[in-house]
Amino acid sequence: MIRAAMAESELARGLLAGDRRALARAITLVQDDDPDGRELVREIYSRTGGAAIVGFTGPPGAGKSTLIGALTRRRRAAGREIGVLSIDPSSPFSGGAVLGDRIRLSEHFLDHGVFIRSMATRGALGGLAEAALQSTLLMDAAGCEEIYLETVGVGQAEVGIAGHADSVVLVLVPGSGDSVQALKAGVMEIPDIIVVNKADHPLTDVLVRELRGALSLAPPSAGWNVAIVTTDALSGHGVEQLEAVLQSHRDTLGDAGALERRRRLHLRGEVIALASARMRRALEQRLEGDERFEALIDEVAERRLDPASAAAALSERPDA
């Protein structure tokens, strides 16, 4: 126990000193749901809050990784230390996403001012959200001044993690009709910034017009109008403008404690979500291989016990 505690403090010291290997090891602990990882986050938490967190979300294939790579290049030139956390979907049949992202970000691999990490979504989204949140805190404590959080998706759950960033960027491409419809119908939350990537496509103007139409239905937000930026991440076109818009959003957040309020609201939601996910995992672990539970489900399947009563029996008697 004493050795572990010492090793841990050593890891914390290395992390706070900005050691990249310490950061990598710390994130692995957190991803593996190792108690030492949680302890480490607890230890360094008071040293977090300095990083600007930007969430990037959007459908697969929109070019998020390329865009993050291009933005990273500019921000590195401005002397900023960058952390990138990519969250990959748990694909049952495409293992390519992680590798693809890594290739797109590969020019930054040898730069000690950039820390890149991918995380696969396996199992519960709750567990993933927790690991992502904690990894972000570790990057923050390790001195990353800007952290880019990338999640894939066009629904509510997928957007959730990146949606808890200080600034939320939705990346679309011509052909993203479903996302426009989801914004219009209110199925998807309104981001702070929308990037229309692959802007050399002939249908870019149509998409921008559709987006303006969808946004015009949204209730006015205090102090910030959703910005639409067209980019071509491959050539770098528009990335300078995105950089400026992000800064402008950051400035707005600085006014009258808006950033603090937003962060408190997100943290409040995160604590409840983490607690719920923790309870769900505890329940699932308890039921794993539990023959009485399978017998209960047999009763439900045979229409002898209704699902809600079975659920009530499970949730109300945590010892059952």
- Residue 304 CB, nearest approach to a second copy (Å): 7
When asked if residue 46 is in the footprint of a second copy (CB under 8 A), the reply is yes
Nearest Cα neighbor of 199 from 169, 150, 234 is 234
Range in contact with a second copy (rule: CB under 8 A) among 66-74, 75-83, 150-158, 235-243: 150-158
Range in contact with a second copy (rule: CB under 8 A) among 1-9, 129-137, 225-233, 246-254: 129-137
- Residue 4 CB, nearest approach to a second copy (Å): 18
Tokens of 178: 């479903």
- Residue 62 CB, nearest approach to a second copy (Å): 8
Q: Give φ, ψ of 300 to 5 degrees.
A: -65, -45
Ramachandran region, residue 61 (left: φ > 0; alpha: ψ -120 to 50; beta: rest): left
When asked if residue 308 is in the footprint of a second copy (CB under 8 A), the reply is yes
Q: 14, 18, 89, 236: which one contacts a second copy (CB under 8 A)?
A: 89
- State the Cα–Cα distance between residues 25 and 11, nearest whole angstrom: 8
Q: Is 49 helix (H, G, I), strand (E, B) or coil?
A: coil
Q: Which residue has the tokens 């239905």?
A: 217
- State the Cα–Cα distance between residues 148 and 160, nearest whole angstrom: 14
Q: 147, 173, 211, 227: which one contacts a second copy (CB under 8 A)?
A: 173
Cβ nearer to a second copy, comparing 133 with 165: 133
Cβ nearer to a second copy, comparing 46 with 110: 46
Q: Give φ, ψ of 125 to 5 degrees.
A: -65, -30
Q: 4, 99, 217, 244: which one contacts a second copy (CB under 8 A)?
A: 217
- Residue 69 CB, nearest approach to a second copy (Å): 19
When asked if residue 300 is in the footprint of a second copy (CB under 8 A), the reply is yes
Q: 5, 21, 280, 290: which one contacts a second copy (CB under 8 A)?
A: 280
When asked if residue 34 is in the footprint of a second copy (CB under 8 A), the reply is no
Instruction: Name which of residues 9 to 28 contact a second copy (CB under 8 A).
Output: none
Tokens of 161: 């993690």
Cβ nearer to a second copy, comparing 120 with 234: 120
Cβ nearer to a second copy, comparing 46 with 289: 46
Q: 13, 209, 212, 264: which one contacts a second copy (CB under 8 A)?
A: 264
Which residues on neighbouring strands pair with residue 196, listed in sequence order?
A: 172, 230
Instruction: Name which of residues 184 to 203 contact a second copy (CB under 8 A).
Output: 184-187
Q: 31, 55, 59, 170: which one contacts a second copy (CB under 8 A)?
A: 59
Residue 159 makes CB contacts below 8 A (sequence gap 6+) with 57, 151, 153, 188, 189
Q: What is the DSSP string of 88-138?
A: E---SS--HHHHHHHHHTGGGTT-TTEEEEEEE--S-HHHHHHHHHHHHHH
